[in-house]
Amino acid sequence: MGKRRARGEGSVFQLHGPDCPPSIDGRRPEHRCHGRWRAQVKLPNGKAKTATRPTMKAAREALRDMHRKMDAGMELRSDTLASWMERWITDIKPYEGRTRQATLDEYRSLAERYILPTIGNVPIDQLSADHVHQLHREMRQLPVKNGRGEVVRYGLSPTTINHAHSVLRSALMRAVDERRIAYNPAQVVRPPAVSNETRKAQPSMDELRRIRDSARTARELSRVLVAFLGLRQGEALALDWADVHEAAANPHLVVSHSLRAVRGQGLVLQAPKTLSSTARVPLDRATAEALRLWRIESGGIGFVFPSSTGGALQPSRDYRLWQELVARAGVRHITLHSVRSALASHLNAMGLSPRVVADALRHANPDTAQRIYAKSSELEIRSALDAAWAGDA
């Protein structure tokens, strides 16, 4: 006879299924049972915590795991990953420092699109490295569609998988801090490497000029040139004609808002990304002239780049219009945001100081512009080496 468990130590027993014979006077006839096994332990508050497993061996291991967690002072909770991430995004993350609503929306989008459909039903205390690998595998097999809804390939980019992995890792790290799980499996598994070929290449000035030359209307030209000023998409779409002063002695526009799609609220005008993003942006002659013509044609009231009904333009629609311009120019795929990187590198190549480059991109810290956006071209490096060997440097 095996050793009897002490009081409060817990128990392991088999569950009967619908194929088992019914009990008669409280006793069930002898039979070959194929039901699952359940581990159960009594908590200090009098309630019971259970774990159901397919075999007796797995149930006993679950019982030992529950005891290990209790001995370590951890809570025995049955939160699924879905319920925990909802609480993390809604009730915890917003109050950990300064987390923008746009960032929270991005976390929720990554969770709802990729993480939760794959492993959302798994209790967080049962998550393992295998589940994280499963998430990566599923994301590498998902279809990728173009703006017309056509599947262009299968498998999300390593960058997207990295972003989803980072969100999962951060959420589970907080669960570790609150002693809900013993370890973070997303820290054990490495996300896929992002090669230089995978990263979006910075557009050249020649490519940007070709996109500019592909504009056929005053609106298209104005939108392209405003992007070349380094405005983020939300900042450009939030521009009101009252913010544009193309006829002033010193032509400029004022960035004071950013337009974002907020869950449950639609399009909302918010403060820009950072305090330094709220600023005057000087206009070059070409951009000032394009905006002057577009003001005359559009009437100069309301949003500078409105929807067909005069209201705020959906960012997705604006991006499709940008993609049409890129396709018309006959250049490779270039994102709107990568134009900021090209601007930083172009200003660097002109010999402007890091402070000027940072001001052009409206960054408080010059190091940000230099580290993330500004890159040296092969021509610049080659010219610098030539000058060094010639004794000119």
For residue range 260-273, list pLDDT tens digits in order. 877 677 888 887 75
Q: For residue 5, what pLDDT band results from cuts at 50, 70 and 90?
A: very low
Is residue 149 predicted with pLDDT exceeding 90?
A: no
List, as one string, the DSSP characters of 158-216.
HHHHHHHHHHHHHHHHHHHHTTSSSS-HHHHSPPPP--TTTSPPPPPHHHHHHHHHT--
DSSP class of residue 369 equals: I
Spatial contact of 233 and 335, defined as CB atoms under 8 Å apart? no
The tens digit of pLDDT for each residue in 113-143 reads 999 999 999 988 889 999 999 999 999 999 8
Tens digit of pLDDT for each residue in 331-382? 988 888 888 878 877 777 777 777 766 677 776 565 655 555 555 444 544 5
Q: Which of 42-46, 211-215, 231-235, 378-382 is predicted with the least confidence, judged by mean pLDDT?
A: 378-382
Place of tokens 């109050």: 95
Backbone angles phi, psi at 17, to 5 degrees: -105, 180
Q: Which pLDDT does position 223 carry in this prediction?
A: 95
How many Å apart are CA 54 and CA 58, to the nearest integer? Answer: 7
Residue 247, helix vs strand vs coil: coil
Tell me which long-range contacts 304-310 makes (C-beta under 8 A, separation of at least 24): 304/222, 304/226, 304/236, 304/239, 304/240, 304/241, 304/243, 304/244, 305/219, 305/222, 305/223, 305/226, 305/236, 305/237, 305/239
Say what the pLDDT of residue 146 is. 67
Q: Using the predicted structure, report yes or no on whether residue 179 has a pLDDT greater than 50.
A: yes
pLDDT of residue 1: 39
Phi, psi of 266, rounded to the nearest 5 degrees: 80, -150
Q: Burial level of 150, CB count in 10 A (0-12/13-18/19+)?
A: exposed
Single pTM value for the model: 0.57
Helix %, strand %, coil % of the chain (to 5): 50, 10, 40
Nearest CA among 252, 268, 250 for reference residue 260: 268
Phi, psi of 111 (to 5 degrees): -65, -50
